[in-house]
Amino acid sequence: MTPRSSIVRFPIDIVRVAALAVATLSVTGPASGQGTGAAKVRILEPADGVYVSGAVRLRAVVEPADAASEVVFFADGRQICAVARAPYECAWDAGPKIVEHQIRVVANLIGGGVRPVATVRTKAIAFAESVEVDVVQITATVTDGHGHFVKDLPKSVFHVFEDGARQTISHFSGDDSPLELVVAIDTSNSMAPWVAQVKAAVSEFLAAIPTQERVTLLAFNSSIATLATQTTSLTERSSAVEQLTASGTTVLYDTIIRGTEMLGTKSGRKALVVFTDGEDEGSHAPIEEVERRLEASDVTLFMIGLGRGKSLAPLKQIMVRLTQPTGGRALFTGKIEELRTSFHDLLEELSHQYLLGYESSNQKRDGTFRRIKVDVDGQYQVRARQGYRAPSR
């Protein structure tokens, strides 16, 4: 599979709207066609009447939970996916422009009968949006000589270079820019003795993420399970953490790719946090494919590794290799009791980030990798993504 480009396509007059394009609201779409008994289908995302563009998560629920044999999603009359079991969700590309779309969901019931249907309509922008630009997004963290995060810097002190050429920063925001977060927790067999401590640390971390931010929780071992999707609810976050149990091996690389795909190419800050106590075991994708996917996205990858001595050394090498090019960070702990501290450190960083955007002076669509360098006036250190892969014709 060819990685999607890390370029974000913006209608030039609606950059601010696009940053808030997909609100995660649990709103019931109008349902019609009740099935046998009291079976119903509800659309959870997108909500009726919101603006959408780019990568969008489609999500529905069937009541009662065991009533459906399959749930089918349609967008503008075209089938997007068919899902055989809960959670009923799939990804859809709404395109670069904010136009009206009709989302329709049909539930096929076990035993047949009249199929329940739900429909929502998204909204279009009321003014011209025919001119589009490609915007490269960069999430940057600035620290002083003591390692403290630096806030409230103006756009004027930031300087961005692409392959050595100075770029004009066209979009800029501080720590108030929207954040979408995917948290992936290793639940392989080796984690069995520490499940209670991991639950406590993860629960505390997710509870501290502001409720306006969207959070997805994944658990991975021999496979990957989605426990919560783009939720803003503290209750849903807590309930998802309680589902963590230990078994199986560790598909670390497949999990990073899945998390990157789920974050997509929407505008705004996007971070993937992965906790693991071991190297990859059994992923379909090699590490080189993970690197290609990260190059083609603007996701910032953070990893927390648990282990001791020589057993942690190979994992450390892998974590640094994957996180550093994205502008993220690798944290290491030798004791499960220190996990809370690692999550707290990540929370601090996520609360002190800048989001920059620029329209590349190199307009070639040649699929090449382009180096990025971010400088800040003053005696500061900057951590940001080190490059991106340009879109291809």
**Distance between CA 388 and CA 367 in Å, rounded?**
10
The mean predicted confidence, pLDDT, of the chain is: 85
Nearest one of 254, 185, 246, 194 to 216, comparing CA atoms:
185
CATH code for the structural domain at 8-121: 2.60.40.10
* Residue carrying structure tokens 């009447």: 49
Whether residue 36 is predicted with pLDDT greater than 60 in this model: the reply is no
Secondary-structure class of domain 179-350 per CATH: alpha beta
Q: What is the pLDDT of residue 240?
A: 93
Q: What is the pLDDT of residue 33?
A: 36
Nearest one of 334, 330, 331, 329 to 309, comparing CA atoms:
334
Q: What is the pLDDT of residue 174?
A: 85
Instruction: Please tell me which of 37-41, 174-178, 347-351 the model is most confident about, judged by mean pLDDT.
Output: 347-351
Mean pLDDT of 195-220: 93
| SS3 assignment for 71-91 | EEEEECCEEEEEECCCCEEEE
DSSP letter for each residue of 238-263: HHHHTT----S---HHHHHHHHHHHH
Q: Which of 25-39, 81-95, 179-193 has the lowest mean pLDDT?
A: 25-39
Higher-pLDDT residue of 163 and 307 is: 163
Higher-pLDDT residue of 212 and 324 is: 324
Count CA atoms within 13 Å of residue 114 on its CB side: 12
Torsion of CA 233, 96, 70, 33, to 10 degrees: 90
Q: Which of 131-145, 154-168, 213-227, 317-331 has the lowest mean pLDDT?
A: 131-145
- Please report the sign of the dihedral spanned by the C-alpha atoms of residue 367, residue 75, residue 54, residue 180: negative
The CA distances from residue 274 to 9, 29, 313, in Å, are 28, 34, 17
Q: Kindly report, as residue ranges, where domains of CATH 2.60.40.10 are found in the chain.
A: 8-121
Whether residue 73 is predicted with pLDDT greater than 90 in this model: the reply is yes
Higher-pLDDT residue of 21 and 112 is: 112
The tokens for 70 are 């399959």
Instruction: Please tell me which of 14-18, 40-44, 389-393 the model is most confident about, judged by mean pLDDT.
Output: 40-44
User: CATH classification of 132-175+353-389, choosing from 2.60.40, 3.30.70, 3.40.1760, 1.10.287?
Assistant: 2.60.40
Mean pLDDT of 274-287: 92
The tokens for 202 are 């993860």
Q: Kindly report, as residue ranges, where domains of CATH 3.40.50.410 are found in the chain.
A: 179-350
Q: What is the pLDDT of residue 128?
A: 31
Higher-pLDDT residue of 214 and 133 is: 214
The tokens for 187 are 């639940």
pLDDT band at 38 (very low <50, low <70, confident <90, very high): confident
